[in-house]
Amino acid sequence: MEQKKHLFELLQEICANDKRYELEAYNFVLLALNYTMGKHERPRHVSGRELMEGIREYALDQFGPLVRTVFEHWGIHTSDDFGEIVFNLVNNGLLGKSENDSKDDFHNVFDFEEVFDNPFKAN
pLDDT in tens, 56-106: 999 999 999 999 999 999 999 999 999 999 999 999 999 999 999 999 999
Q: Which band of pLDDT confidence, cut at 50, 70 and 90, is reported for residue 40?
A: confident
Q: Which band of pLDDT confidence, cut at 50, 70 and 90, is reported for residue 41?
A: confident
What does the alpha-carbon distance between residue 123 and residue 106 come to, in Å, rounded to a whole number? 30
Average pLDDT over residues 49-53: 96
pLDDT in tens, 5-22: 799 999 999 999 999 999
Q: Please tell me the pTM assigned to this model.
A: 0.92
pLDDT in tens, 23-36: 999 999 999 999 99
What does the alpha-carbon distance between residue 68 and residue 96 come to, in Å, rounded to a whole number? 27
What does the alpha-carbon distance between residue 77 and residue 112 come to, in Å, rounded to a whole number? 8
Per-residue model confidence (pLDDT) at position 91: 96
Per-residue model confidence (pLDDT) at position 1: 42
* Beta-carbon contacts of residue 78 (< 8 Å; ≥ 6 apart): 108, 112
